[in-house]
Amino acid sequence: MSPTEVNRKEMNVIRSLLVWLCFIPVAILNGGLRQYVLVRWLGEVGANALSGVLLSLFILLITWLLLPRIVRYNQKESYRIGIVWMLLTIGFEFTFGLMGDISFRELLSAYNPMSGNLWLLVVITTFGAPRLVSNKERR
């Protein structure tokens, strides 16, 4: 691999991480919307479900707006970006959840869509967004 190719790949990693970092404030704002607005209207289960759908849509929108404009990547790299984003998302959630005195069991329960919590949809969307956007941009 040429030095130019290595440099491009390193820059792609850094740029894709910058896109992922944009998810964090949006997720925090989405959580505030859920807690302070949606729960009053829809109850806990409905608010969790709608919040998961909204956050997934925001992740797709951010990815669509930013990733193809700042990262040149192919299909294989889209899977790598998605895996890294998914692992970062899960790691972030567990790290800050445990630091915030949320039990491990409670964090795991968010992955059960039967409870009305669609966090699993968010994680799957985070993984698939780079690939989905790369398909859209290549048509």
Structural domain contains residue 123: yes
Domain that holds residue 71: 3-134
Q: Is residue 29 part of a domain?
A: yes
In a domain, 139, yes or no: no
The answer to whether 23 and 126 have CB atoms below 8 angstroms apart is yes
43: left (phi over 0), alpha (psi -120 to 50) or beta: left
Number of structural domains in the chain: 1
Structure tokens at 72: 């040149």
| CA–centroid distance for 38 within its chain | 21
Domain-embedded: residue 78: yes
Look at residue 121 and tell me if it is in a domain. yes
CA distances (Å), origin 49, targets 69, 97, 103: 31, 19, 21
Cβ-in-10-Å burial (0-12, 13-18, 19+) of 92 comes to: middle
Classify residue 62: in a domain, yes or no: yes
Confidence (pLDDT) at 119 = 94
Question: Over its length of 139 residues, how does the chain's per-residue pLDDT go in tens digits?
Answer: 666 666 777 888 889 999 999 999 999 999 999 999 999 999 999 999 999 999 999 999 999 999 999 888 888 889 999 999 999 999 999 999 999 999 999 999 989 888 888 999 999 999 999 999 986 554 4
Buried b (16+ CB within 10 A) or exposed e, 96-116: eeeeeeeeeeebeebeeeeeb
- Global pTM value: 0.89
